[in-house]
Amino acid sequence: MSSQTVSAKKQQGSQYNNYKNSLQQIAQKIGEIEQESEEHKLVLDTLTPLDGQRKCFRLINGVLVEKTVEDVIPLLKTNAEGLKKVLEDLVKTYKAKEGELEKWKKKNNIQVVQTA
């Protein structure tokens, strides 16, 4: 093999690893957002049946703040909707990046072999 061929193969390997790392980071972020979204849902399900004037506490930037249930529920709903939007955007980004990887693999005739 010529040094150009070896260099090209190393570059392709590096580019492949970059794609895989990007996909892994996006997938990790999706998992984090899903977990946070589930926590919001759990808190909303717990607070919704309670009296609106009941005290509740919310941790904001490390500070515990006293509020009422009726004050907290709209904030939680807004946050939950925002998380849902971020999650949708991340899933779109993941699929787009995955599509880029597949196109790149076809263009460069790359076949991935799993080793044990």
DSSP for residue 95: H
Helices (H) and strands (E) in the chain, counts: 2, 2
Structure tokens at 78: 């807004």
CATH number at 1-108: 1.10.287.370
What does the domain layout of the chain look like in residue ranges?
1-108
Instruction: Give the pLDDT confidence score for residue 116 in this predicted structure.
Output: 63
Distance of CA 17 to the CA centre of its chain: 19
pLDDT tens digits for the chain (116 residues)? 667 777 777 888 888 899 999 999 999 999 999 999 999 999 999 999 999 999 999 888 999 999 999 999 999 999 999 999 999 999 999 999 999 999 988 988 878 777 76
Taking the whole predicted model, whether its pTM rises above 0.85 is answered as: no
SS3 assignment, position 65: strand
Determine contact, residues 1/79, Cβ cutoff 8 Å.
Answer: no
Measured CA to CA, the distance from residue 43 to residue 45 in angstroms comes to: 5
| Distant-in-sequence, close-in-space partners of 53: CB < 8 Å, separation ≥ 6 | 68, 69, 70
Instruction: Give the pLDDT confidence score for residue 94 in this predicted structure.
Output: 97
